[in-house]
Amino acid sequence: MPADQHPDQILKQTPLHALHRELGAKMVPFAGYDMPVQYPLGILKEHLHTRAAAGVFDVSHMGQLRIRGADAARRLEALVPGDLQALKTGRMRYSMFTDERAGILDDLMVTRFDDHLFVVVNAACKEADTAHLQKHLGASVEPLTDRALVALQGPTAAAVMARHATDAAAMAFMSGAYIKVAGFPCFVTRSGYTGEDGYEISVANDAVEALTRKLLAEPGVQAIGLGARDSLRLEAGLCLYGHDIDTTTTPVEAALTWAISKRRRAEGGFPGAAVVQKQLAQGTAKLRVGVKPEGRAPAREGAEIADASGAIVGKITSGGFGPTVNGPVAMGYVTTPNAAAGTPVQALVRGQKLPARVAAMPFAPHRYHRG
């Protein structure tokens, strides 16, 4: 039992667990798994290394599913607000499962092919998501429990992949393909959760360690843990489910309306569509925004946000130190009148009022490969 595991908590392990231990990782419980939060390099250096070169992340705890059928995109649209039917084969899209109040049950990535969809969902939600999908879409939903998932992220990721998969460098951002990487059959997408160029590589459980070792043997590639993954995605302005979005937030409140196409906004046809349509027409009481504290002290999750007069107008949902911007960054929800970038606010941290401003996101510019 890991020293940091609670005695009554039996944690699952990914197929890379032994490798994490070999590499000297500090392991922590996360979404029911024993996961590496950092390696000896440390969170700060892991973060900066990913921004400068390339990092490998174990994300095998995520849920992977295949939805079979030529009409899978049409059928899945009954559960999400995303325009999946407009996707061309090999293209992917970000979307969300919503409930009847337009609350977000989870967010997900969907890649379309002629006879199926490849879906990736969050680790903490994957059992509920699988049950939700099977309830509505039946036996066409196939959980891929025999597959691991690793992410290769950073400005040199494409050069690294080109030495192991000749087709990978030509892939466009938000596309997917079944190709071989280092000789192993994989499903690869050019996507990620860091704001950097990169790939997510789905591979058989029994091949993932050998593949990961090949990637780590490349010059300038380091193993990166969950700590840097979180600070990287926060700087990139990307939501973490269960923190920045959940069933109490709608896609409109979460500033995710970019993920709902004009057709889906007009036609509806997904759970909570009427709520979304009303909010698009009339606005919302709260909005997700970036928050940039002044000084060096971070404002972390749970800290209340006050306006200039001291009235509570919101709450931080994610916050910490941004190594790339060399200062504290955060995101959270504020009342709509306080949501404009530049609005002065105060973050209440341990009884202290930290001056801050509402800020545009991302805090660090996205560097996705647009082709």
The CATH number that applies at residue 346 is 2.40.30.110
Q: Is the same domain home to 161 and 83? A: yes
Q: Is residue 54 part of a domain?
A: yes
How many Å apart are CA 43 and CA 162, to the nearest integer?
A: 27
Token pair recorded at residue 340: 């404009």
Q: Is residue 364 part of a domain?
A: no
Q: Is the same domain home to 309 and 256? A: no
Domain residue limits at 191:
1-282
Q: Is residue 193 part of a domain?
A: yes
Q: Is residue 45 part of a domain?
A: yes
Question: Cα dist. 277→48, 161, 232, 256, 282 in Å?
Answer: 41, 42, 32, 13, 9
Tell which residue, 281, 288, 282, has the closest CA to residue 246.
Answer: 288
Q: Is the same domain home to 265 and 132? A: yes
Q: Is the same domain home to 265 and 304? A: no
Q: What is the dihedral of CA 175, 236, 215, 226, to 10 degrees?
A: -120
* Domain's final residue, options 282, 299, 332: 282
Q: Is the same domain home to 333 and 297? A: yes
Q: Taking the model in full, what pTM does it have?
A: 0.96
> How confident is the model at residue 126, as a pLDDT?
98
Token pair recorded at residue 34: 């024993």
Tens digits of residue pLDDT in 28-47: 999 999 999 999 999 999 99
How would you classify the pairing of strands 304-306 and 344-349?
Answer: antiparallel
> How confident is the model at residue 371, as a pLDDT?
75
Sequential DSSP letters for 34-72: EEEEE-TT-HHHHHHHHHHSEEEEE-TTSEEEEEESTTH
Residues 6+ apart with CB under 8 A from 124: 31, 32, 241, 242
> How confident is the model at residue 3, as a pLDDT?
39
* Domain's final residue, options 282, 314, 347: 282
How is the beta sheet containing 63-68 ordered, strand by strand? 92-98, 104-112, 116-121, 63-68, 141-143
Token pair recorded at residue 356: 């801050």
Domain count for the chain, please give it: 2
Q: Is the same domain home to 122 and 233? A: yes
Q: Could you tell me if 293 and 347 are in contact, meaning their C-beta atoms sit under 8 angstroms apart?
A: yes
Q: Is residue 366 part of a domain?
A: no
How many Å apart are CA 245 and CA 256, to the nearest integer?
A: 10
Q: Is the same domain home to 299 and 277? A: no
How is the beta sheet containing 147-153 ordered, strand by strand? 176-181, 184-189, 198-204, 147-153, 54-58, 221-223
Q: Is residue 368 part of a domain?
A: no
**Cα 328–334–338 angle (5° rounding)?**
95
> How confident is the model at residue 1, as a pLDDT?
29
* Domain's final residue, options 253, 282, 311: 282
Tell which residue, 198, 195, 191, 197, has the closest CA to residue 176.
Answer: 191
Q: Is residue 338 part of a domain?
A: yes
How many Å apart are CA 309 and CA 294, to the nearest integer?
A: 17
Q: What is the DSSP letter of 259?
A: G
Q: Is the same domain home to 154 and 296? A: no
Residue 140 CA, distance from chain mean position: 25
**At 45, which amino acid appears?**
K
> How confident is the model at residue 370, as a pLDDT?
86
Q: Is the same domain home to 321 and 276? A: no
Q: Could you tell me if 304 and 312 are in contact, meaning their C-beta atoms sit under 8 angstroms apart?
A: yes
How many Å apart are CA 62 and CA 106, to the nearest integer?
A: 12
Q: Is the same domain home to 172 and 194? A: yes
Mean pLDDT by 10-residue block, N- to C-terminus, for the chain (371 residues)? 50 98 98 98 98 98 98 98 98 98 98 98 98 98 98 98 94 97 98 98 98 98 98 98 98 98 98 98 98 96 97 98 98 98 97 96 96 75
Q: Is the same domain home to 85 and 125? A: yes
Q: Is the same domain home to 244 and 335? A: no
Q: Is residue 323 part of a domain?
A: yes
Q: What CATH number corresponds to the domain at position 40?
A: 3.30.1360.120
